[in-house]
Amino acid sequence: MRMPNSGDRRWRAPVVAIAAVSAVLLVSPASAVTPPTDDAGASTELNRLPDEAASVVEVLLADREELDELVATGVDLDHHVEQSEQGIVVHAVVTSTEAAALRARGYRLGETLLRPSDSADRVEEREATIAAHVAENRAFAAALQTSETSDVKIIRADYYTSGTNQILSVEAKWAQGQTSTSTLTVVRDSGPGTELGSGGSQTISRFVDAGVYLYHRGASTVTTRPDRIRITSPTGGVAVAQVKEWLPIPADNPEGPGYQKDFVTSYLTPTELYTRIHQLAAEFPDLAEIVELPYKTNGYRRKAQVVLGSTNANRVAVDSLAWGHEGGNGISVELVNPGAASRPLSVSVTGKDIRVSLATNASGALTSTAAQVAAALNANAGSLVRAYTYRGDAGAGVVAAAAKTVLTDNLKAPASVSRDPHPVYAIRIGKVRDGSKTGVLAYAQEHAREWVPPLVAVETAERLLRNYGHDGRTKQLLNNLDIWIAPSVNPDGGHYSFYDYNSQRKNMTNHCPLTDAADALGRNSWGVDNNRNYTEYSLFDGYSGASSSCTSGTYAGPSELSEPEDKNVDWLAQHKNIKFSMNLHSSGNYFMWSPGAYATPGRISAPRPTLAEESFFWGASSQILTAIKRQRNMAVTPARTGPISDVLYSAAGNSGDMLWYKYGIYAWNFEVGTSFQPEWDEAHQETMEFSNGLVEMMRVARDFDKDQQRPKSGLSVTESATPGMVDVTFTVSEPAAVFYTVDGSAPTYASTLYASAGIREGGETLTLPAGTKIHWFSVDAAGNVENNYRADGTGKNFLKGSAVLPTS
């Protein structure tokens, strides 16, 4: 079992109290580790058939107990749990076969919310957008050639002020922008009637989205308002334009006038996401760098495979030894009836073609069983393939003849998507990036099919870097924080979701044994749920909400941190200056934090944050959610805000719990929007609003770092229903922990910690004998102690009070 370690980086001292609670959890239900079985002893895990597309479907449940039972089936659940007087509605990602299995078990299914055709429409929409940009570029270049005018065109030249800063923003299009990475130089005058060049110069860089050049752009501070600008392209083209006044955002908006945003125009694949952050780091070398994380993924790659036969007993599964792209693709297997009696089973190999001549009896009937054919293939073609009977079957069925069948890895991504183990990249942003500043981590696409969260990550990186030069609040963030943004921690699954199977949740690693679904027919069910493979309160500790089945949507993997994607997040969290994190997911419009797991039956939760810690989570969340709402007045509701296991369901082994319990990081979780792959207009709005929230979390981190205000606390005493007793509560000026004694001793961090009254409630009420002497002190989340009290028992300036009713 994972418990908070002695190196917990949070300020709080009452680890003993948490450990005491944790000790109760050492005995856990076996059903949390081993998939539960029905009365006949069969596993309750659902099975996804090959090449079946999945839909998002409502499941109508009576109560939380039935929700826990549904989670235990291993069903692939969207992040949506809605409670009403009639019960609970959750969203499941299921194929038609899985939906039928749920109905057979008595579950009620409601509306279908997202169909495979919807995902196909999103891909088509993305490709159409990219094609339109390409066509626009070609038309622009062609028009310039036919008109014999300049090959560069100024689109906008906008002057505005931000505080005391004067800024010039320029956008221009260059005919060679698709193929050349060159910047463009803008020359300014210093006002009406002055010479071009008298106001200095600035450079603007390419804006490329999804591999397509859109235009050059950039903003720079100026010392005087220019009237005209001139751009001379590297190929000699010249363009001149008037400068206009521009105030796109009201001066009283929190973002400030001239704040630049809206840097995404379509969904981006992991390859495109990595290209984007590499371009940003190259453009802003003084503010950003690319960090290749230490663990490469297992790769967007598979063995070439085929399953021959029609029933479990006579099926033979054949896998190439080489990866498909390294020679496995193109191997063929042919099962031949020799057309003569009493012939032996034999195998011949010519190049990559394998020919199996099946055995016959005296009457000429075929007699070779699946087990015999598999053994013969391994003995005679073992340098090319591995053969086995179907999912542990004895293979006693007679194999029928089959025409030549070519093995394939079934991967459909273009050659531009690497098939090798993939590096995972983060962009590190900040003026000082040596670990001395407060660290903030944002990471996305643990779940492959969630296409909007990576856009939030990239949009935020763009905002931070492109506003640094002229926006004072952004400059404060980058001057005082060390920001890590990993837009796709699961690139293999992300590519598979874009090109092969839109509903892919997990990574692509096939952990299934040959006796299970390791064959070609199981390929859309393979993979580990990266958000169930972490170290704290996991399936392996006996917690609910993850599966040991290699085909489950919540498969936790063979062991904690077995997956390179998860090892990378763990590596990031080990940076001791990181104090805040945001795990970007979709969908459901949730905003959550730990605890994220509980054991069943009994709903035994991972340790809850202290009252002070939870107060800080709530207070910071209000600030962040207000920023999200600013985009289009869409609110994340109170019912969808709070600890994961309170507002959603148990998610054993999730990353937020690891970051909080193991590393002491204030770890939040966004669930962006209402769908994995919404129409682009909706996806764009979600990107803008949740990027607002992510930037605001960085402001929370900056304020935390600069917090030197000591908390203040007090006692409130009211009448008790018990004779001779009074009810006592503590009040605090900000989220802060209160440690107290009632025996006359000086309070320390080992004293009793004032606790919560219950889940999602305020502070507890202490019922004490009237006249009890109470000593206490408070300490906030930043470590500021009230009155600068020395809490080791030697300090004298703790607060003192009595459990006495105030006189009227």
Mean residue pLDDT across the chain: 89
On the question of pLDDT at 194 being above 80, the answer is yes
On the question of pLDDT at 397 being above 50, the answer is yes
Q: Using a pLDDT cut of 70, give the percent of the chain over it.
A: 91
On the question of pLDDT at 4 being above 50, the answer is no
Residue 650 pLDDT: 93
Angle ∠(124,669,508) on CA atoms, nearest 5: 50
Mean pLDDT of 566-579: 98
Residue pair 453/445 in contact (Cβ under 8 Å)? The answer is yes
**Maximum Cα interatomic distance, the chain, rounded to a whole number of Å:** 111
Identify the three-state secondary structure at position 445.
coil
Site of tokens 């009283």: 252
On the question of pLDDT at 197 being above 80, the answer is yes
On the question of pLDDT at 44 being above 50, the answer is no
Consecutive H or E run containing 97: helix 96-104
CA distances in angstroms from 269 to 63, 274, 453, 454, listed in the order given: 38, 9, 12, 9
Consecutive H or E run containing 108: strand 108-114
Site of tokens 């539960």: 36
Residue 81 pLDDT: 87
CB atoms within 10 A of CB 86: 8
CA distances in angstroms from 654 to 10, 424, 516, 631, 658, listed in the order given: 19, 19, 26, 29, 7
The single-letter code of the amino acid at 656 is G
Residue pair 534/658 in contact (Cβ under 8 Å)? The answer is yes
Structure token digits, residue 645:
């296991």
On the question of pLDDT at 38 being above 50, the answer is no
Burial of 311 (0-12, 13-18, 19+ CB in 10 A): exposed
Mean pLDDT of 65-70: 91
Q: Closest by alpha carbon to 211, among 262, 276, 148?
A: 276
Would you place residue 404 in the very low, low, confident or very high pLDDT band (cuts 50, 70, 90)?
very high
Mean pLDDT of 557-583: 98
Structure token digits, residue 192:
């009406």
281-339 pLDDT per residue, tens: 999 999 999 999 999 999 999 999 999 999 999 999 999 999 999 999 999 999 999 99
Dihedral-angle region of residue 28 (phi above 0 means left; psi in -120 to 50 means alpha; beta otherwise): beta
| Distance (Å, whole) CA 179 – CA 213 | 8
Burial track 621-647 (b if 16+ CB lie within 10 A, e otherwise): beebbebbebbeeeebeeebbbbbbbb
Which pairing describes strands 425-429 and 481-486: parallel, antiparallel, or unpaired? antiparallel
Would you place residue 619 in the very low, low, confident or very high pLDDT band (cuts 50, 70, 90)?
confident
Residue 28 pLDDT: 26
CB atoms within 10 A of CB 731: 12
Residue 11 pLDDT: 34
Which pairing describes strands 578-585 and 666-671: parallel, antiparallel, or unpaired? parallel
Residue pair 754/730 in contact (Cβ under 8 Å)? The answer is yes
**280: phi then psi, degrees, rounded to nearest 5:** -65, -45
More confident residue, 410 or 21: 410
Residue pair 366/345 in contact (Cβ under 8 Å)? The answer is no
Residue 31 pLDDT: 30
Mean pLDDT of 106-112: 94
Q: Closest by alpha carbon to 501, among 97, 27, 171, 54?
A: 54
Helix pair 270-283, 491-499: axis angle to 10 deg: 130
Residue 607 pLDDT: 95
Would you place residue 147 in the very low, low, confident or very high pLDDT band (cuts 50, 70, 90)?
low
Which pairing describes strands 578-585 and 641-643: parallel, antiparallel, or unpaired? unpaired
713-746 pLDDT per residue, tens: 999 999 999 999 999 999 999 888 899 999 999 9
Residue 182 pLDDT: 92
Helix pair 680-706, 116-147: axis angle to 10 deg: 90
How does DSSP classify residue 544?
A: S
Residue 21 pLDDT: 28
| Distance (Å, whole) CA 573 – CA 441 | 8
Residue 45 pLDDT: 56
Structure token digits, residue 632:
């289009």
How does DSSP classify residue 644?
A: H
pTM of the predicted structure, to 2 decimals: 0.83
How does DSSP classify residue 439?
A: E
In order, the DSSP letters of 506-533 are S-S-----TTTT-SGGGGGG-S--GGG-
Residue 758 pLDDT: 77
355-380 pLDDT per residue, tens: 999 999 999 999 999 999 999 999 99
| Distance (Å, whole) CA 592 – CA 654 | 12
Residue 178 pLDDT: 87
Consecutive H or E run containing 185: strand 184-188
| Distance (Å, whole) CA 171 – CA 185 | 11
253-263 pLDDT per residue, tens: 667 667 889 99
Q: How many helical (H) and strand (E) elements, i.e. helices and strands, does the chain have?
A: 14, 36
Mean pLDDT of 523-536: 97
| Distance (Å, whole) CA 487 – CA 274 | 8
Q: Using a pLDDT cut of 90, give the percent of the chain over it.
A: 69
CB atoms within 10 A of CB 517: 22
Residue 408 pLDDT: 98
267-277 pLDDT per residue, tens: 999 999 999 99
Before 756, cis peptide (omega within 30)? Answer: no
Residue 33 pLDDT: 33
Identify the three-state secondary structure at position 659.
helix
| Distance (Å, whole) CA 85 – CA 65 | 15
In order, the DSSP letters of 288-319 are EEEEE-S---S-S--EEEEEE-SSGGG-EEEE
Site of tokens 């209000």: 622
Structure token digits, residue 566:
């998860």
Residue pair 153/137 in contact (Cβ under 8 Å)? The answer is no
Consecutive H or E run containing 680: helix 680-706
Q: Among the ranges 643-652, 675-684, 760-769, which has the highest mean pLDDT value?
A: 675-684
Which pairing describes strands 438-444 and 481-486: parallel, antiparallel, or unpaired? parallel
Burial of 792 (0-12, 13-18, 19+ CB in 10 A): exposed
Residue pair 89/58 in contact (Cβ under 8 Å)? The answer is yes
SS3 for 343-408 is CCCEEEEECCEEEEECCECCCCCECCEHHHHHHHHHHHCCCCEEEEEHHHCCCCCECCCEEEEECE
| Distance (Å, whole) CA 579 – CA 666 | 6
On the question of pLDDT at 88 being above 70, the answer is yes
Residue 17 pLDDT: 29
Residue pair 216/243 in contact (Cβ under 8 Å)? The answer is no
| Distance (Å, whole) CA 28 – CA 572 | 30
